[in-house]
Structure 1
Amino acid sequence: MSRSFAGPHELGQNFLVDTRVVRDLVALVPRGAERVVELGAGAGAITAALVDAGHRVTAVELDPRRAAALRRRFGDRVDVVRGDLLRFEEPDGHDLVSNVPFGITTPLLRHLLGQRTWGTAVLLVQWEVARKRAALGSTTMLTASWWPWYTFGLAGRVPARAFRPMPSVDGGVLVIERRPEPLVPPGERAAYQAMVRRVFTGRGAGVGAILRGMLPGRVVARWLDAHRIAAGTLPGRLTAEQWAALHRAALHRTSS
Structure 2
Amino acid sequence: MARTPTRASARTSTPAQPRTHHRRRELSQNFLTTTTAAPARLVRAARPHPNRLLLEVGAGKGALTEVLAPLVRELWAYEIDARLLPGLRTRFAGAAGVRVVGGDFLAARPPREPFAVVGNVPFSRTAAIVDWCLHAPALTDATLITQLEYARKRTGDYGRWSKLTVLHWPWLSWALHGRVGRREFRPVPRVDAGILRIERRARPLLPPGEAAAYRRLVEVGFRGVGGSVHASLCREGYAASRLDRGFRAAGLDRSVVVAHVPPEAWLALHRSLKGSAY
What do residues 104-159 of structure 1 show as CA deviations (whole Å, max 9, x unaligned)?
Answer: 11111111101121212111000111100111111111111211111000000000
Cα offsets for 1:69-101 (capped at 9, x unmatched): 211111142111123122222322221101010
**Distance in 2 of aligned mates of 1:11 and 1:157:** 23
Equivalent residue for 1:43, pick from 42, 46, 61: 61
**Equivalent position to 2:174, from 152, 161, 181:** 152
3-state secondary structure, aligned to 1:152: strand
**What is the rounded CA distance, in whole Å, between the counterparts of 1:192 and 1:88 in structure 2?**
30
The equivalent residue for 2:12 is none
- Quote the Cα distance in structure 2 between the aligned partners of 1:246 and 1:130: 26
Compared with structure 1, are the counterparts of its residues 182 and 102 closer, same or farther at alpha carbon in structure 2 (3 Å cutoff)? same
Residue 242 of structure 1 pairs with residue 250 of structure 2: no
| Partner Cα separation in structure 1 for residue 40 and residue 53 of structure 2 | 18
Give the aligned CA root-mean-square deviation in angstroms: 2.3
**Which of residues 161, 164, 181 is equivalent to 2:186?**
164
- Could you tell me how far 1:210 is from its partner in structure 2? 1.8
Q: 1:87 to 1:235 in 2, by over 3 A?
A: same
Equivalent position of 1:25 in the other structure: 42
Q: Is the 8 A contact 2:160 2:262 kept in 1?
A: no
Which of residues 71, 75, 82 is equivalent to 2:89? 71
Aligned residue among 195, 210, 217 for 2:217: 195
* 1:128 equivalenced with 2:144 (yes/no): no
Task: Give the structure 2 partner of residue 12 of structure 1.
Answer: 28
What TM-score comes out, normalization by structure 1 length?
A: 0.89
Q: Aligned pairs, how many?
A: 253
Deviation at 1:244, TM superposition (A): 2.5
Judge which range, 152-161 or 41-50, deviates more: 41-50
Is 1:175 matched with 2:197?
Answer: yes
Pick aligned residue for 2:121 from 78, 94, 100: 100
The separation in 2 between residues aligned to 1:3 and 1:162, in whole angstroms, is: 16
Q: With the length of structure 2 as denominator, give the TM-score of the two structures.
A: 0.83
In structure 2, what is the Cα distance between the partners aligned to 1:241 and 1:25? Answer: 27
SS of alignment partner, residue 225 of structure 2: coil
Runs of 5+ unmatched residues, structure 1: none
Is residue 245 of structure 2 the alignment partner of residue 222 of structure 1?
A: yes
Matching residue of 2:140:
119
Give structure 2 stretches of 5+ with no counterpart. 1-15
Instruction: Return the alpha-carbon distance in structure 2 between the equivalents of residues 32 and 119 of structure 1.
Output: 10
Question: How many Å apart are 1:30 and its aligned residue?
Answer: 2.2
Looking at structure 1, the residues matched to 273 and 85 of structure 2 have their Cα atoms a distance apart, in angstroms, of: 49
Identity between Structure 1 and Structure 2 (%): 37
1:116–1:224 Cα change, 3 Å = same
CA displacement 1:160-207 (0-9 Å, x = unmatched)? 000000000000000111011112345654553343222112312322
Residue 89 (structure 1) aligns with: 109
Contact 1:5–1:63, Cα closer than 8 Å, also in 2 = no
For residues 148 and 103 of structure 2, what CA distance do their matches in structure 1 show?
A: 26
Residue 123 to residue 227, structure 1, CA distance change in 2 (3 Å): same
- In structure 2, relative to structure 1, the CA distance for the partners of 1:160 and 1:6 (3 Å cut) is closer
Structure 2 distance, partners of 1:117, 1:75, is 28
